[in-house]
């Protein structure tokens, strides 16, 4: 029979050594959510460009807030930009913008003071401004409702591009936003040029609420968009069915036939 003090001398130091090694071993990094990852990528790749362009607003996309407002004054004009994250906490957001002149800002502030008391320009955001619109990732923004103006790091195309380039999808989205902001939104504010990724609210409102040829043309465009989308989805589904179902079944039947004939 083993003596108890001998067992103690052997196992107690061994247990202490195991505990020390466990305590000193590096802990695995806590995996952050896709939404948090997207916010960090925007802070690294988009916020510096926004700051360099003269916009004022939050320094980080921290906390659980869904809305982050930025503003810039250029001469007599004020330009507003809001980044709205998905209210269901998904890794997607949309970019809303507007602008106004000094007279318009004064009028808006007067209306706000009537209901809220003392306010300043810092209390204004995109709502109520002129030249209101959205900057989106799609080149076909004019749908009945702005469904495809959301930047989404979980989108299928974004995932494919990230897999090919071996780059996090959040980084792809943030860099894409930075490029579109510099190329299209700044161009729109500078000379009124409407880029392919800009959804100007008043343009669509004029088309969808008006009568005649332009309204019918807008609805035809929407129909063609949905037809094209369904066609692509159908072709992809057919190809997957052929490669994942039909071809394996054909091989199995070929093997069975060869076995029977033998």
**108 falls within a domain:** yes
Distance linking the first and last C-alpha atoms of the chain: 69
CA distances to 105, 207, 211, 222, 229 from 216, rounded to whole Å, are 36, 9, 8, 10, 20
**254 falls within a domain:** no
232 shares a domain with 189: no
- Domain end (from 188, 209, 230): 209
Q: Span 106-114, mean pLDDT?
A: 76
**68 falls within a domain:** yes
pLDDT of residue 2: 47
Q: Which has the minimum average pLDDT: 114-128, 163-177, 214-228, 229-243?
A: 214-228
- Domain end (from 193, 209, 225): 209
**Domain containing residue 229:** 215-241
232 shares a domain with 134: no
User: The pTM is what?
Assistant: 0.68
**185 falls within a domain:** yes
How confident is the model over 47-101, as pLDDT tens digits? 999 999 999 988 998 777 889 999 998 888 889 999 999 888 889 999 999 888 8
The Cα 80–Cα 236 span in angstroms is 41
230 shares a domain with 169: no
Contact 165, 99 (CB under 8 A): no
142 shares a domain with 231: no
148 shares a domain with 223: no
Structure tokens at 139: 């080149």
51 shares a domain with 121: yes
Q: What percent of the chain has pLDDT over 90?
A: 23
- Whether the predicted pLDDT of 43 surpasses 80: yes
The Cα 80–Cα 57 span in angstroms is 10
**24 falls within a domain:** no
Mean pLDDT of the chain: 77
pLDDT of residue 102: 82
**16 falls within a domain:** no
* Overall domain count for the chain: 2
185 shares a domain with 83: yes
235 shares a domain with 120: no
235 shares a domain with 130: no
- Whether the predicted pLDDT of 1 surpasses 50: no
CA distances to 47, 51, 129, 178, 261 from 255, rounded to whole Å, are 60, 66, 70, 55, 10
Query: What is the pLDDT confidence band of residue 123, given thresholds at 50, 70 and 90?
Result: confident
**57 falls within a domain:** yes
118 shares a domain with 64: yes
Q: Span 182-199, mean pLDDT?
A: 88
């Amino acid at each position: 029979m083993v003596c108890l003090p001998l067992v103690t001398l052997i196992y107690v130091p061994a247990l202490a050594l195991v505990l020390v090694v466990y305590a000193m071993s590096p802990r695995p990094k806590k995996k952050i959510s896709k939404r948090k990852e997207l916010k960090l990528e925007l802070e690294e790749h988009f916020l510096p460009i926004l700051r360099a362009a003269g916009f004022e607003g939050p320094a980080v996309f921290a906390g659980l807030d869904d809305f982050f407002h930025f503003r810039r004054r250029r001469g007599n004009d004020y330009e507003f930009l809001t980044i709205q994250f998905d209210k269901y906490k998904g890794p997607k957001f949309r970019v809303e913008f507007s602008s106004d002149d000094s007279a318009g800002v004064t009028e808006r502030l007067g209306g706000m003071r009537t209901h809220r008391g003392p306010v300043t320009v810092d209390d204004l955001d995109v709502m109520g401004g002129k030249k209101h619109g959205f900057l989106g990732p799609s080149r076909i923004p004019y749908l009945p409702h702005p469904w495809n103006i959301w930047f989404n790091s979980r989108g299928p195309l974004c995932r494919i591009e990230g897999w090919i380039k071996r780059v996090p999808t959040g980084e792809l989205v943030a860099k894409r936003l930075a490029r579109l902001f510099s190329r299209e939104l700044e161009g729109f504010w500078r000379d009124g040029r409407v880029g392919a990724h800009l959804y100007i609210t008043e343009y669509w409102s004029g088309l969808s609420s008006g009568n005649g040829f332009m309204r019918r043309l807008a609805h035809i465009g929407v129909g063609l968009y949905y037809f094209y989308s369904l066609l692509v989805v159908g072709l992809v589904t057919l190809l997957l069915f052929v490669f994942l179902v039909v071809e394996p079944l054909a091989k199995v039947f070929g093997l069975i036939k060869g076995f029977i004939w033998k």
